[in-house]
Amino acid sequence: MKIVLLGSGNVATHLGKALKAAGHEIIQVWSRTLDNAKVLAQNLQSDFINDLSQINPQAEIYLIAVSDDAIRQVAADFPFKDKILAHTSGTSELAIPEISGVFYPLQTFSKQKQVDFSIIPIIIEANNSLIAGMLETLAKSLSSKVIQLNSEQRKALHIAAVFACNFSNHLYAIANTILKKNNLEFDLIKPLIAETAEKIQQNLPASVQTGPAVRNDKLTINKHLEFLKNDVLLKEIYERLSQSIINFSQKA
């Protein structure tokens, strides 16, 4: 298929490379910043622009891969009314007037790390069955896991992903800060992180929860809170997460 990418960030970069590798033609890349569009376009051997009025009309699908707060404006400025215009957001609604579909790859993307698109779930939503079929065909050329969800289901999935991925990564950053302040290396807890991730491949997360909170080990918890007493925010995060674990374990 012939595709135009509207965006040049992490999602657009990985998606563009995957589409090209799957045999699709990225005929144009748009970005508000021309230099950013140029960098990605050169990688994809395509044209580049920073003016939406110059979009190539020959594409079959136009994919918006920008921040959620920019989607509506990009869609409103899109010059064609009879084209498939899909965004790649986990949360933004399909019910944006100019948007006809959603093409949401459920993965964390960083430009410095390659990903295997064949195992990435791609979520499809569309205004009609014809557009759904086009987006599904495109998705199946990249991934073995393609599903159609409505906007509320997709939002729930995205929220779950934020808890599982973004919040977890932030907790890694907090852990690293604690370690550095005490002259310890983050490498020391990498095997622990890897084992935790490995266990949930075969088990439900709540069933393999460990640590002082799930045991309701108040002595250890209080020692940790004492250690964190000079950092009000971290102390609060520790308390709230510990209580959440306790609540989960009591429901089990």
Parse the chain into domains and list their residue ranges. 2-149, 154-251
CA–CA–CA angle 30, 1, 23 (5° rounding): 95
Does the pLDDT at position 218 exceed 90?
yes
Q: What percent of the chain has pLDDT over 70?
A: 100
| Residue-level pLDDT at 252 | 64
Spatial separation of the C-alpha atoms in residues 160 and 166, rounded to whole Å: 10
Q: Pairing relation of β-strands 61-64 and 101-105?
A: unpaired
Reduced to 3 states, what is the DSSP secondary structure of residue 26? strand
Beta-carbon contacts of residue 154 (< 8 Å; ≥ 6 apart):
90, 91, 102, 104, 123, 125
Fold of 154-251: N-(1-d-carboxylethyl)-l-norvaline Dehydrogenase; domain 2 (1.10.1040)
Distance of CA 199 to the CA centre of its chain: 22
3-state secondary structure of 189: helix
| Mean pLDDT, the chain, whole residue set | 95
Distance CA 170, CA 157 (A): 19
* Cα distance between the two ends of the chain: 49
> Model confidence over 87-140: pLDDT tens digits?
999 999 888 889 999 999 999 888 778 889 999 999 999 999 999 999 999 999
DSSP letters for 195-223: HHHHHTTTS-GGGG--STTTTT-HHHHHH
Answer whether 138's CB lies under 8 Å from 1's CB: yes
pLDDT of the residue at 226: 96
CA 107 to chain centre: 5
Report the SS3 class of residue 28.
Answer: strand
According to the model, what pLDDT value does residue 133 have?
Answer: 96
The Cα–Cα gap between 3 and 63 comes to: 7
Superfamily of domain 2-149: NAD(P)-binding Rossmann-like Domain (3.40.50.720)
Q: What is the pLDDT of residue 242?
A: 96
- Please state the pTM of the whole predicted model: 0.89
Measured CA to CA, the distance from residue 150 to residue 99 in angstroms comes to 14
Mean pLDDT calculated for residue range 157-162: 95
Give the C-alpha separation, 47 to 29, whole Å: 6
